Amino acid sequence: MKMARVAYSGAIHKAFPDEYGVRLDDGRIVSETDVVWLTPFDVQTIIALGLNYADHVKELSKELTITEKDEPLVFLKGSNSVIGHRGHTRRPRGVAFMHYECELAVIIGPPAKNVNAANAMNHVAGYTVCNDYAIRDYLENYYRPNLRVKSRDGGTVLGPWFVDATDVADPHELVLRTRVNGKITQEGSTSNMVNRIPELIEYLSSFMTLGPGDVILTGTPEGVVNVNEGDEIITEIDGIGSLSNTIVGDGTFGIDDA
Amino acid sequence: MSVDFSVPPYAYSGRVYGSILNHQASIDALGDEMFDVPYKNPPSAPILYVKPRNTLARSGSVMAVPSTHDVLQINGCLGLVIGETASRVTRTSAISHLAGYTAVIDVSVPHHNFYRPSVRFKALDGSCVVGELRQRDEISDPNKLLIKVAIDRDIQQEVSLGACVRDVEQLLVDVTEFMTLQPGDILLTGLSVGAPEVKRDQIASISIGGIGDVSVGFDSERVNA
C-alpha cells in the first residue's frame, strides 16, 4: 500500500493514490496540487550514506581519498532539513555547485540492535524517495560531509508516499532517475549499491539502536549536476514514487542582497 | 526507548547537535596538521555532529559499554536549550532564543582523526546524558561558565567557556545561518581537547557552576540471549 500525509482544507489527513488525484481518509478525492504534502511518516533519526554507488564514487574520484572498501561512509542529518513533496529549497546567492541526490530511503519499523544481515529486512517498515541536497561550496574536511553542506533547512526532501516493505519485491532492483526541468540528468539502479540494505542495518545496529521512523538514505548514483533558482527537480524511483522540489532564491526567505 | 525530558515549561525535543574545534585548545592541538592532508585548511564554519535519539539518557543512568571498546571519552559540554525558533539570528538577539542551559555529557569513542563524520564513535546508545534545564535569566553570562569533569569524583579536567573560538552568541549566529533550531533542541558549545577517559564500573560526572551536575555510570553491555 502507498500512503501519504497531506494537509487539506484545514486538517491533516492520510492520503492514497487515486486515478483522479489523491483520495483522503475521509473519502474526498482532490487534486494533488490542492494539498500540502507533508513527509509520509514521522521522521526520526536521519542516517545518510555517502559514496554508496560504485558509479558515483567514480564520478567524484578526483576529490576522494577513500576507496569503496572502507567502512560505510555514514553521516547524520538534522530534522531541520526535512520537507515534503512539492516543497521549496533555498539556494543561497553566490554558490557555484548545489546538487540533488536521488536516493532510496529505507524506513525502519521494529527496533534493531545487533541485527544480522540475514534478519535485517524484518526491521524495514517501508520505503520512500529522498532528494538529499548538497552544496559543495561549503565542504570542509572535518566530519565531511559537514552539516553546512548536507543538513541545511529544506535539504532533505522526503515523499511523496510511504510504500509498505511487503509491496517491494526487491529493493535492490529499482531504477532511480532525476529530471531537472523535465530533462533526465541522473539514472541508475539500486543494484549498484556498494553496501546493500541488510549490510547497512547490520553495520548501523552494531553500535546504535535503530527505531521506528529512523530512515536510512542509501546514497545516490552518478549524474549529479548543478541546479539553479527556479529549477524543478523530480527525483523518482520506479514503484516507489516521484518526488518534486523547486529551487528558490534568498529573496523568498527575506534575505536581502549582501 | 524514548526518554521523557519534560522540564516545565519546556520539553527537550530530543535533537542534540554538538560542535568540535570550538575550543582554542582543540585548534592548538591539531596545529599544523590542519594545513596538511586530509584537512588542508582550518575549519571556517562550525563543524557539527548529531547525537541521535538512541543516545539520549538522563543523569544517573548507566551506559552499557560495547565489548568492542575498553575506554570511552567523557566530554563535558554546556547545552544551549532553544526556547524560540531560531533562524538566522543576530548576535544581539541570539541569547533571547534560548530557554536556558543544561549540562550534557557527550560520551564518545576516542578518535583523533576528524575527517569523516565518525557516527560509529558518536552514536552509541545512552551516550548523550542530559541534565535539568536552568532558566536563561538565571545565568548572567554563559561565556564565563566553567565545566569540571570528574571520574569517580576525582576532577580531571576543567574547561572554561571563555576559551571558545565562537562564544555562545556567535555559535548561534553561525549555526542558525543554515539550520533552523526549534524549541527543545540542544546545541552543545563544543568539546575540548584532553577529555578524560573512563572504563567499565567507573562513574563520570560533570559540574557546571550555576547550571548543575550530570553523572553517568558504565557497565558491560548485556547481550540478549
Contacts of A210 in chain B (CB under 8 A): 54
Which residues in chain B show pLDDT less than 70?
1-11, 222-225
Count Cβ atoms below 10 Å from residue B202 Cβ, excluding itself.
18
Instruction: For residue B123, give how far its alpha carbon lies from the nearest alpha carbon of chain A (Å).
Output: 6
Contact assessment for residue A68 and residue A50, using Cβ atoms and an 8 Å cutoff: no
Specify the pLDDT at position A55. 82
pLDDT tens for chain A, 258 residues: list them.
999 999 999 999 999 999 999 999 999 999 999 999 999 999 999 999 999 998 877 777 766 655 545 789 999 999 999 999 999 999 999 999 999 999 999 999 999 999 999 999 999 999 999 999 999 999 999 999 999 999 999 999 999 999 999 999 999 999 999 999 999 999 999 999 999 999 999 999 999 999 999 999 999 999 999 999 999 999 999 999 999 999 999 999 999 866
Contacts of A78 in chain B (CB under 8 A): 15, 17, 50, 179
Residues from A contacting B (CB-CB < 8 Å) are 44-45, 47, 65-66, 71, 73-81, 111, 113-114, 138, 140-148, 151-153, 207-211, 214, 255
User: Is B225 touching A (CB cutoff 8 A)?
Assistant: no
Specify the pLDDT at position B3. 45
* Best mutation target, A138, A142, A208, A209, to test chain B (most B CBs within 10 A): A142
Contact assessment for residue B48 and residue A140, using Cβ atoms and an 8 Å cutoff: no
Say if the Cβ atoms of A144 and B116 lie within 8 Å.
yes
Name the closest residue on chain B to residue A90, using Cα atoms. Answer: B178
- Please state the pTM of the whole predicted model: 0.95
Contact assessment for residue A127 and residue A159, using Cβ atoms and an 8 Å cutoff: no
Closest partner CB to A142 (pick from B15, B114, B119)? B114
- In which residue are the cell numbers 551506559 written? B63
Q: What cell numbers appear for A142 in the block?
A: 572535518
Contacts of A71 in chain B (CB under 8 A): 120
Which of A158, A5, A6, A141 is closest to A77 using CA atoms?
A158
**Torsions phi, psi for A138 (to 5 deg):** -95, 5
Closest partner CB to A80 (pick from B49, B66, B179)? B179
**Torsions phi, psi for B178 (to 5 deg):** -125, -10
d(CA A174, CA B153): 56
Q: What cell numbers appear for A145 in the block?
A: 560531509
Specify the pLDDT at position A58. 75
Quick one: three-class SS letters along B163-208?
HECCCHHHHHHHHHCCCCECCCCEEECCCCCCCCEECCCCEEEEEE
Say if the Cβ atoms of B53 and A140 lie within 8 Å.
no
β pairing state of A241-248 and A183-189: unpaired
Name the closest residue on chain B to residue A151, using Cα atoms. Answer: B179
Instruction: For residue B177, give how far its alpha carbon lies from the nearest alpha carbon of chain A (Å).
Output: 9
Contacts of B41 in chain A (CB under 8 A): 140-141
Residues 107-146 of B with CB under 8 A from A: 114-120, 123-125
Instruction: For residue A255, give how far its alpha carbon lies from the nearest alpha carbon of chain B (Å).
Output: 10
Say if the Cβ atoms of B55 and A151 lie within 8 Å.
no
Instruction: For residue B143, give how far its alpha carbon lies from the nearest alpha carbon of chain A (Å).
Output: 24
SS3 B121: helix
Q: Residue B13: which residues within 8 A CB-CB, separation 6 or more?
A: B182, B183, B184, B185, B186
Closest partner CB to A148 (pick from B50, B124, B178)? B178
Say if the Cβ atoms of A138 and B45 lie within 8 Å.
yes
Instruction: For residue A44, give how far its alpha carbon lies from the nearest alpha carbon of chain B (Å).
Output: 8
**E strand or H helix that includes residue A102:** strand A102-108
Contact assessment for residue B49 and residue B118, using Cβ atoms and an 8 Å cutoff: yes
Name the closest residue on chain A to residue B64, using Cα atoms. Answer: A207
Say if the Cβ atoms of B54 and A65 lie within 8 Å.
no
Contacts of B114 in chain A (CB under 8 A): 142-143
